[in-house]
Amino acid sequence: MKQYKNILRDRHDAAKKLIDVIPMQKFKDEAWKIVAVSSGGLLLGSYIRGRYLNKLDFLFSEAIMAPNNNECEIARVSENEEIVINEELVSSFDIKYDYIYGEARRKHEEEILSCVYQYRKGRHFSSVAGEVVLLIDEGSETGSKLMSALKTVLSENPKAVYIAVPVIPSDVLESLEVFADDVFFLYDIDDYVETQLYYEELEPVDDETIEKLLEEQK
């Protein structure tokens, strides 16, 4: 089994290495819009953007957990109310869709809208119709954040959608490649454990940093 522990120093290191695999000239010339799917992805996206003038935004989403297991994610809802469901888990646990849709509404109203008002001061996610979008995260255990973002963005008819992620499970990569125009990554890992394991340092991103990065887009 290949050892992947601490293969990246931190988000700066991951960004520097991703820049080598992302076609940065196209990134600049086509004005790709960076859309992060997590706070860590937002910071990573800001490092990749560097001095370029590309737009940077955050697409908020929330996990929907199984009724009797608050550690088992069965679905995810985005701020545009697009829902991605893990059909295999839902079927295995015999979970009713009414529960999922009810939880999606509750999560959207109580948690996602709260994030929109806190971090974007009420500004909703800007349309990406006709734009080239680069979805970014620092890693992915299940792929649910990237998949829900992908579904949300594709519903708005963008010109193209790319994904950039330093570390990703091999099966998640295969799933995303079907829908994205391309996926830029550093390591696809068969026995993926958790994203934290693959970085020497992965500090939480504070609220002030998130607000500052999103304030720039006004």
Whether residue 23 sits in one domain with residue 45 = yes
Boundary (domain end) residue, out of 105, 120, 135: 120
Would 136 be classed as within a structural domain?
A: yes
Q: What is the pLDDT of residue 79?
A: 96
**Residue 150 domain boundaries:** 11-59+126-215
Residues 80 and 165 occupy one common structural domain: no
Picking from 75, 103, 120, the residue at the C-terminal end of a domain is 120
Give dist(CA 189, CA 173) in Å, integer. Answer: 9
| Tokens representing residue 119 in the block | 């971090």
Report the interhelical angle of 207-215 vs 113-120 (nearest 10°).
70
pTM above 0.75, yes or no: yes
The 10 Å Cβ neighbour count of residue 195 is: 20
Is the domain of 136 the same as that of 199? yes
Q: What pLDDT score was predicted for residue 5?
A: 87
| Rounded (5°) CA angle 181-182-185 | 160
> What does the pLDDT read at residue 32?
98
User: pLDDT (tens digit, 9 = 90+) per residue, 25-60?
Assistant: 999 999 999 999 999 999 999 999 999 999 999 999
Q: Is residue 156 part of a domain?
A: yes
| Mean pLDDT, contiguous 10-residue spans, the chain (218 residues) | 83 98 97 98 97 96 95 96 96 95 98 96 93 98 96 97 98 97 97 95 96 83
Q: How far apart (Å, rounded) are the C-alpha atoms in residues 95 and 89?
A: 8
> Would you state the pLDDT for residue 107?
97
Predicted pLDDT at 38: 97
Instruction: Provide the edge-to-edge strand list for the sheet that holds 69-78.
Output: 61-66, 69-78, 83-85
Instruction: Please answer whether residues 67 and 99 qualify as being in contact, where contact means their C-beta atoms are separated by less than 8 angstroms.
Output: yes
Are residues 202 and 95 located together in one domain of the fold?
A: no
Shared domain check, 191 and 171: yes
Output the CA angle 177-197-183, nearest 5 degrees. Answer: 15
Q: Is there a contact between 131 and 33 (Cβ–Cβ < 8 Å)?
A: yes
Residue 2 lies in a domain: no
Structure tokens at 158: 């963008």
